[in-house]
């Protein structure tokens, strides 16, 4: 994982960050610490914003969920919170970019699933470990529309794939609640796709 620590904001002590990452990495994942650098952070945040705006244009220009779907009212809130994130990403104290060694965008599904599958459990465990210590993160991928530009900014070699970007900071408030989901039963099939008991 590539870690970028930034100034001026409350940061987890370096020992905590390092310990968390040491706990969560293994196999083909990678840890690399970078010195604080405001300009570098601003450039990554600008790429992220460009990616997020592009995603809104191509996929989120209108609410895709029908009336009665519990995801419909959440959609606008999700768009608002996503916009808040891209407007403020440059202020976030730590940006973690998990990476995996290898390039597999042209490989088959098995290789892709295996390599993404080898790092996302670590990413999720890392996010849970942060949470247990009063730090928050969220999973984002929008900067990957411009992965190569980000790689140049961060010095990531060509044979390495970035898989996400986690903004990390101490959170305020404790009023998190789970999003409403469709009942799992409606999305679970038996024996063959589309069949329900
Ligand atoms: C693979 C993946 C990529 C995501 N990328 C972004 C992103 O680039 N920007 C963003 O604002 N939210 C992104 N999200 C959504 C949020 O990180 C988060 O999942 C969302 O706020 C809802 O949280 P929940 O899944 O816990 O309900 C992504 C989610 C996933 C699963």
How many residues does the structure list for the chain? 197
Does 76 or 7 have the greater pLDDT score?
76
Q: What is the pLDDT of residues 139-158, one digit of tens each?
A: 999 999 999 999 999 999 99
Most confident of 36-50, 67-81, 152-166: 152-166
Round to whole Å and give the CA distance between 30 and 186. 39
Quickly tell me which residue has 């900014």 as its tokens: 153
Looking at residue 190, its pLDDT comes to 95
Average pLDDT over residues 77-84: 90
Distance 197 CA to ligand 1 centre (A): 32
For 32-88, the DSSP string reads: EEE---HHHHHHHHHHHHHHHHHHHHHH-SS--SPTT-THHHHHHHHHHHHHHHHHH
The model's confidence at residue 17, banded by pLDDT at 50, 70 and 90, is low
The ligand 1 atom at the shortest distance from the C-alpha of residue 143 is 8
Q: The dihedral of CA 43, 138, 131, 98: what is its sign?
A: negative
* Averaged pLDDT for residues 101-123: 97
pLDDT for 6: 33
Cβ–Cβ contacts within 10 Å for residue 125, how many?
14
Instruction: Identify the residue whose tokens are 């790429």.
Output: 47
Q: Which of 141, 168, 179, 182 to mutate to test the pocket of ligand 1 (most atoms within 8 A of CB)?
A: 141
Instruction: Tell me the pLDDT tens digit for each residue of 22-62.
Output: 655 554 455 444 556 889 999 999 999 999 999 989 988 88
Q: Rounded to the nearest whole angstrom, what is the distance from the C-alpha of residue 82 to the centroid of ligand 1?
A: 8
Q: 0.75 exceeded by the pTM?
A: yes
Among the residue ranges 70-79, 127-136, 158-167, the one predicted with the least confidence is: 70-79
What is the set of domains in the chain, with CATH numbers? 2-187 (3.40.109.10)
CA of 139 to the centre of ligand 1 (A): 5
Which residues surround ligand 1 with Cβ inside 6 Å? 82, 85, 138-142, 179
Q: For all residues of the chain together, what is the average pLDDT?
A: 85
Q: What percent of the chain has pLDDT over 90?
A: 60
CA-closest candidate to residue 143, choices 44, 6, 62, 13: 44
CA distance 99 to 102: 9
């Amino acid at each position: 994982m590539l870690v970028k620590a930034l100034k001026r904001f409350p940061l987890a002590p370096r020992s905590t960050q390092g310990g968390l990452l040491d706990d969560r990495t293994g196999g083909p994942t990678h840890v690399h610490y970078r010195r604080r650098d405001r300009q570098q952070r601003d450039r990554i945040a600008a790429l992220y914003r460009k990616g997020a705006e592009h995603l809104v244009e191509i996929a989120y220009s209108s609410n895709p969920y029908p009336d009665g779907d519990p995801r419909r009212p959440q959609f606008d809130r999700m768009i608002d919170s996503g916009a808040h994130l891209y407007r403020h990403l440059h202020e976030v104290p730590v940006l973690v970019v998990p990476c995996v060694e290898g390039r597999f965008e042209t490989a088959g599904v098995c290789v892709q699933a295996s390599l993404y599958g080898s790092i996302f459990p670590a990413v999720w465990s890392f996010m849970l470990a942060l949470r247990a210590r009063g730090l928050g993160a969220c999973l984002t991928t929008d900067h990957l529309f411009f992965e190569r530009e980000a790689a140049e900014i961060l010095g990531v070699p060509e044979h390495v794939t970035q898989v996400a970007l986690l903004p990390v900071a101490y959170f305020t408030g404790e009023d998190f609640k789970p999003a409403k989901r469709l009942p799992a039963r409606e999305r679970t099939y038996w024996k063959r796709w589309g069949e329900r008991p």
